Each structure stands twice: as C-alpha cells, then as structure tokens.
Structure 1
Amino acid sequence: MIAEPFRDRKFRHELFPGSPALVALSEETIAVVLQHEAANALRRRKRRTADLEAFRNAVAVIVANLAHVIAFPGSDTGAVILPLGHPRGHRADHLPGFRESLKATVEALEAVGVLSIVWPDIPSHATALRPTEAFRREVHARDIGAPSDFLRRLVLDPVCLTRKDTFKRREELTVPAGVEADTIRAEVRVFNAWLARADIDYDGPDMIDTDDRLLRRRFNLPPRVEDPCLRYGGRLFGGFWQTMKRSLRGHIRIDGEPIAELDYGQILPRLAYASVGAEPPPGDLYDLDLPGPSDVQRCVLKKAFNTLLFSARRLRAWPLEIADALPDLGPDNPVSVARFRRALLRRHPALRPVLENGVGHALMHMESRVLCGVLRECTDKGIVVLPIHDAVLCPVSAVPAVKTIMETQALLVCGCSIPVEAKPLSGADLRPSSSVLSPMNTTGHPDLLSAA
C-alpha cells in the first residue's frame, strides 16, 4: 500500500476565537506582542486605527489555529501551513492583517514564545507554524478544547482555482468573474448552510471537531491550459470527515443513526470510457494482467492507471511512490511504464485515445458535477450526506434513497451507468426494516425510501 506521509495541517482563515476563554487568550497574546514591540523599539510609528485592527485580527486567527491544533490533534504533524512571502496556499490577502505585515506579525509571535516558525528547506514546501509547549500549557490550563470554543467566519470564497507549478507547489489563482462562478458559489453556500444545521455527532475515541463542516469547491487548472476557467477538477474539499481515518468514520452519527459509505465503483475509468463512447468490460477495471508477481495491491494499480489518465505527455518513468510499490520482475527491474501501458491496453484497448492525453482533470470535473448533483438532490429531499470526492456518508436508513439518487445523477450527468456500492461503517444492518419505511423520518421530511 502507498503510505501517506504525515502532513502539516491546512491553515484555516475562517477560525476565530469563539469562547470567553479563547478570546481572553487571544487578547492577552495581542497585549504581550504590543509590549514586546514597545520594549524593543520595533516600530518607529504608532499603528493607525485600521492597521491596529488588522494586526489584532491576524493574531486572533493565528491563535485560534494554534489552539485548534492542540485541542483536536489528528494524524498530521501538529503544525499549520501559513505561507509567508509567496501566494501558496489559500488566497487571503484580502483579509485584514494577512498582507505585507503578516511576516512581521508571525515573527513577533515567535519572539514572545507563542509559536515556532518552520521555514521550508526545499522549494516544494511552505512555511509552517508550530505551537510552543508554553502555549500548549496555556490552552490546556484554560480548558480550551470544544468545538464551541471556535467561531467560523465565512471569509473565504467557496470557489477555489489552483494550479501546480513544476515543483508540484499549488498556487491559488483568481477565480474568473461571471455567472458560472456565481452559480457555483451559491450552490456551495447552500450545501454549507444545510450541513451547518444538520444533526451530526461523533462518539469515537479521538477528539474530533464536529463543527468543522465548511466545504469549498476546488478547481485545478492543468499546466497546458493558459486561461483561467472552471472546467477542470472541482471536487468538494473540507469537513472533518474527509481527513479522518477510515476506521474512525464508523463513529459518526447523523440524526442519531449509524452511517454507511456509498461510493461509485471505478468512476474515473468508467468516465474515460464514456468520453470515448464505449462500454467498459465486466469485472474490476483495475484488474490487469501484469507480468511478474500477481499480489500487486489494488491501490497501486489504481494510482498507476490514473497517472496515465492525468499525464499530458508520454511517460518514461513512474513517480517514485508508484515505482517503489509496483512489483519487481527481477533485480532493479520493476514494472516499467511501457509494460504497464501494454497490460492496460490489452484490457482496455478503447482507452488508447485518452491515455497520456491529460484528460484526467476533465474527467474529475465530470465526477465533481455528479457529486454536486447528488448533494443538491439530497439537500432538496432533506437527507444529510457528507461528501468524500467520489463517495458520500449517509444515515443507514437513507441508503436505498441515496443509492438511487447517485445512480440517477451519474446517468444524467455522464450518460452512463456507474455502479454504487454501500458499505456499513459501524456494523449496522443495511437491509430495509419496518422502521426505515415509516411515513416520516427523523428530520421531519416525507419518507424518501418508498418514493425511491
């Protein structure tokens, strides 16, 4: 299996102190920084009122992010990415305190012992901030650790457009203005408003911020495309459930119910077949007749398959994470790109026109349209679903209705049938019961299952 490295946590510009305890910690931090500046004569002029408010906003947001890392430790490094001096990460230069003065503010917070700056040592990495042990003690001493300690202000555009450069760094671009972007923004805001009101809980062993539900739709501009547009990528990112370990998702409860995961089977290869007007063969599309050992893990084959769909040029060598995971045919002789390509085309000759043609971003856009259609219909029908790219989590009682919605949306958007598999995440029975078929569900909406 391809191991995912520990990553720094994404900085959340929407986080803000929300409880008296965290507000007090933020105000005290601001006072300490101002005293440090005065004692060391770091400023020649007094800040103007607008500049002081911008500084206070930046410190409050940074303090909230550091406290959030401490209150809700996850499987990351315990540091948050906050790029300084370049436009990597989220575009936030419109927010007070997050423009030219940000670097000085962060360095002052380091000087007073609130955080340490982890400067990047290679071009593909961004600056990260790590809370100090002294700051950790303050957070624990003030009993800061509940979702209610944090406010979430809607300060970022729900539509995001990015492009990766030659160093694989992601740069956020300006979203083109127009009706298309406004329509997408409005739809994502509807999703977020619906999720904010939903009855979503967690009863597992870890500390999870169940109020972290804000979604953004992220479009990815391929390297070969010059003009910014919203026709590539478009997956929904955000929400505490997306970054959770799969083993912990079974502890999520929606409307007090256990949940199930419904996902599309091999959606990108099936969309590739739809793009060339052909029918895929039966069986697992990732099952390829490769030379050498046959115990290749499916996730490796899937990643290699998708790499050929996303590459815009003919590959001569695999990325290291794939090369290290594919089977060896002998000493220093792993499965080459050429061998894999031949095996893939033996199974899928109809896909020759789309391999190594950069079609992957357009296919992912189609996938995102399908998932947004699923969320739109579920929201209209009063069903809470949590999106995970090509899958959703939903209450067990809603599985038949959501499965029908997913199959219907795939047919409407793509013009092809894509199988949907339902998997219980907490040992719950997915078979319909008399309670499932009652005339009214717990959300107060008319029964959807009998209608489906």
Structure 2
Amino acid sequence: MDTLEIPGLDLVQDRDDDERERRFNPYRYAQEPAAKQLIGNALECLAQLEAQSGIKRNKRRPHDQQTYELTVDAILSDLAYDRLIERGCGVFITRSKQLLSRSNRYRPRVWTKMLPDIVDALADQRVGLVVQELGWQSKDRGSKASVLRAGRALIDAIKLLDLDLTDFGERPADETIILKRPTDPEDYWDEGGRIHYEDTDITRAFRDELRAVNAWLSSADISFSSSVQTRTGNLVDDRDRQLLRIFNLGRFDRGGRLFGGFWQPLSKQERFEGIKIDGERIVELDYGQAGTRIVYGLAGRQPPEGDLYSIPGYLPHRDGIKRVMSAMLFATKEIERFPRNTKKLFRKEEFIRDVIQAISNKHPDISNCFFRGIGHEAQFVESTILLRILKDLREVGVTALPIHDAILVPASSIDKAREVMKDAFLSIAGVEASVSVERGSVGCLPVG
C-alpha cells in the first residue's frame, strides 16, 4: 500500500460541524432550470470579462472547457446553497496550485490548478458574484485558508430567480472509502491526513457495500420539518444523505465509521423533533458500552453483568470512568495524566493511576488489552456491525439512519430493529449486546 500523504485534501468535506466557515463542497451543482440559468448567465459574464481583459486568448480544449464550466457551477452553487441555508458565513478553499494539481483518487474533478483563477474572475468587481478573503501563512501564527462568500450580484440573482435549496443538487463523491494516516500525538489539532491506496478486493467490496447504502437512503422516505429551529439557526437539507466510510491508522481494519448525512450533526432533540421516516416519528436504538463489550469479544471473554462503567469507589463519576477507559483502550502507552477535560469529572484529590487501577480491577479479563490501541480495532468491528444492521434492515423493509453505534428508525419498527441489532452484535462481536431505545421526551428505556 502506498502511504504517501495527500496534503490539502481534507478541505474536501469529511464531516459537518459547527465551524463558522465550512469547507467548500466541490460536488454541489445547479439541478433545476432556474439554477442552471444562474450558471449560464455567470458563464456569459465571465466570457465577456475574458474578451474585455484578454485574460483568455486561446480557446480551451473541450475537456478543459467542461471542467471550467463544472468549476464555475460548483463554486456558485455552493455559495448560493450557503446563502440559502441561512449561514452566509462562506466556505473555505485552498489556492495552492501545487496541491490542486496533484493527481490522486480523492481529488474532485473541479480540484485543478485553474480553480484560483476562476475564483479571481468571479470575484472581479466587474462580475461581483463572489467576495474573496485571501488566506495567509505565517511561521508565528500558523495559516488561514481563503474564504469565499456570495457577492452582491449572486445575492441579487438568488432573489431575482427565486431560488431555494431544491434548485441545487449534490453529485456523489468521487471516493467514499477514505484512508487516513495516524495522527500526530504532539499536535492536538491533527486529524490525520488522507493517504493514497491501491484498490483490492476488500476496498472494492467496502465501496460496493456503501454505494448500496447510499442508493437506498437517497430514495427513502425521510424528511426533516422546516418548522424545527436548529441550535445553529441554519436550515436542514434532508436530501443530504451520502455517507463516507473513514478508516484510520493507514489500515482498512481500523476505524471504518460512517460519516455524513444531515442527521449526524443535529442534536438529539432536533432529530426527535424534526425527522420523520416513512411519515413516522423516529426512535433511537443505541448499543450500551459497545466498545468495551467488543473488546471483551476480541479477547475471547464475556463481559460481567451490569454496568461496565460502574466502578466501586467511583459510582458518582461514571462519565469520567467511561472517558478514561476509552482513553485506556485507544492509547498505545500508559497514560500519566487525566485525558483532556476529564479531571473535572472526578474529585480534586483523585490521581489518574488510582482510577486506572480501579478500572483494571473491575475488568481483569481485558486488562492486558489496555494501552495497546485496541480501540481502533474495536471501532472497526463496531462499523462492521452497523453496516450489517443496515443491510439486514434494508432486506426487511425498515429504513434506518446510522450514527456510529446507534440507529434511527420509525417508531413502529422498534422490535425488528432491536432483534437485528442484537443478532448482528452477537454474530460479529461474539458477545451479547445491550440495547436501549430513546423516544425523545419520553426518555430512555432499556430493551434488553
């Protein structure tokens, strides 16, 4: 496997979060006639600018012209979408032609060295479709990506053409199976860059499996109520359903969780209030202590009865125990201090070594699994279980939205979903599952 890192490509969106400016989505496009008219008018305006300025003297080759038009479409469609979603904060991109010209499996077609020139043309005051805030790099202050926002001409065109979110679509990502390198333990912000890999029967099978899931979800009866106010104040596009599968540590048996979909960044309350599947309110079925149970399975042991995070002497500190134990499973060497933001979950006089010893005493059968990085392997097992669940539910006609170790299903499908979840967990992890169901304001009820 070629582990050459592909810098800059994490600007292609892996996940939705609450950052002010989001990553430029190179797959957005004008889908309906009114939006296509916007792009057509923009291309005519750019052609006039080129003629007046002598920017482009030679006719582009057909393939290059098509890429040029797709790039204009993607930029303006994504900025119009950003405006319509009631953000208006803009999107950030890279202008590095060195990065944009590198060929690799993740690069979208519009990710070419002509991108900065097209942005500059759209931002020209004679065009006015884009407002551009140039990024910078500094040895002392780090770096900031360039940010694009809708210009006055684009804002006026959105109003004149009466555009809304449904006028824009999103093409499938060129690559849905993502491989990332290990993170730098000395860099808190390092998320692990994407690295190149050669396809094998395994990666092709992963891709086919995920394509089937994405196709299923894209045609399912799933909606989000426009009357629900989100914590960010943004509209929710319930057509955003494409998932990516992201593997870690440069291995296809580590990580593998599913990311994407409009439902994942929502709060629980927003999901319960706004999402309907097949016209029904949803419930959330969640595995309890999934990672720890999976580790017991990997060790060939059965977990003890009861709450695995209930530790004698630390009963009021369950959340802290859970987070420290997770750190013990993902770390590759013994931790010497409380993980970030966990000290406050314990008494001031507590020492991390005592907490570690108490956890080890509670779980002697897997104590040799701590500080070996087995958490990444457990996460791969978890993701395999979730994909099995999605496949089995699809076969019995139940639509489900995945959230790592949980699923959202119609309220009438609790029994089917619970049975499928328990069967999949036992079959793949080798231990019994603990499953709970949450019904929004009704609360969380154990279901076995």
One fold, TM greater than 0.5? yes
Matched, 1:311 2:326: no
Match of 1:80 in 2: 91
Paired residue secondary structure (1:305): helix
Instruction: Provide the aligned length of Structure 1 versus Structure 2.
Output: 410
Greater shift, 133-142 or 58-67, is seen at 133-142
Match of 1:174 in 2: 196
Match of 1:258 in 2: 281
Post-superposition offset of 1:73: 4.1
Match of 1:139 in 2: 158
Match of 2:168 in 1: 150
The 3 A distance-change label for structure 1 pair 354 and 428 is: closer
Paired residue secondary structure (2:322): helix
Match of 1:160 among 178, 197, 207: 178
Does the 8 Å contact 1:196/1:211 carry over to 2?
A: yes
Match of 1:356 among 357, 366, 371: 371
Identity over aligned pairs, percent: 27
Post-superposition offset of 1:244: 1.4
Post-superposition offset of 1:8: 4.0
Does the 8 Å contact 1:396/1:430 carry over to 2?
A: no
Match of 2:10 in 1: none
Distance 1:169 1:31 in 2: 41
Match of 2:382 among 367, 379, 393: 367
Match of 2:42 among 22, 29, 45: 29
TM-score, normalised on structure 2? 0.81
Once the two structures are superposed, residues 169-214 of structure 1 have per-residue CA deviations (whole angstroms, 9 ceiling, x without a partner) of 4322224312111111111111111112211112242422111111
The 3 A distance-change label for structure 1 pair 125 and 274 is: farther
The 3 A distance-change label for structure 1 pair 107 and 380 is: same
Greater shift, 116-125 or 31-40, is seen at 116-125
Match of 1:16 in 2: 29
Distance 1:7 1:170 in 2: 21
The 3 A distance-change label for structure 1 pair 395 and 18 is: same
Match of 1:411 among 405, 414, 426: 426
Paired residue secondary structure (1:422): strand
Distance 1:111 1:308 in 2: 54
Match of 2:254 among 216, 229, 232: 232
Does the 8 Å contact 2:90/2:150 carry over to 1?
A: no
- Which runs of no fewer than 5 residues in structure 1 stay unpaired? 223-227, 433-452
TM-score, normalised on structure 1? 0.80
Amino acid at match of 2:336: R
Distance 1:165 1:111 in 2: 39
Post-superposition offset of 1:422: 0.9
Once the two structures are superposed, residues 43-81 of structure 1 have per-residue CA deviations (whole angstroms, 9 ceiling, x without a partner) of 56443332222111112112222222222247xx93434
The 3 A distance-change label for structure 1 pair 119 and 302 is: farther
The 3 A distance-change label for structure 1 pair 329 and 202 is: same
Paired residue secondary structure (2:438): strand
Once the two structures are superposed, residues 113-156 of structure 1 have per-residue CA deviations (whole angstroms, 9 ceiling, x without a partner) of 4133463668987735342462445434433223x212232342
Does the 8 Å contact 1:8/1:128 carry over to 2?
A: no
Q: How does 1:197-346 map to 2 (within 5 A)?
A: 197-203=219-225, 204-206=227-229, 207-220=235-248, 222=249, 228-250=250-272, 251-288=274-311, 296=317, 298=319, 300-318=320-338, 320-322=340-342, 325-327=344-346, 329=348, 337-346=352-361
Match of 1:391 in 2: 406
Matched, 1:380 2:395: yes
Distance 1:120 1:303 in 2: 37
Match of 1:64 among 54, 77, 89: 77
Distance 2:444 2:292 in 1: 30
Paired residue secondary structure (1:108): helix
Does the 8 Å contact 1:51/1:97 carry over to 2?
A: no
Once the two structures are superposed, residues 342-381 of structure 1 have per-residue CA deviations (whole angstroms, 9 ceiling, x without a partner) of 3322332333222221111111000000000000101111
Post-superposition offset of 1:97: 3.0
Distance 1:289 1:430 in 2: 25
The 3 A distance-change label for structure 1 pair 318 and 198 is: same
Post-superposition offset of 1:12: 3.0
Supply the RMSD in Å over aligned alpha carbons. Answer: 3.3
Post-superposition offset of 1:34: 4.2
Amino acid at match of 1:267: A
Distance 2:351 2:24 in 1: 38
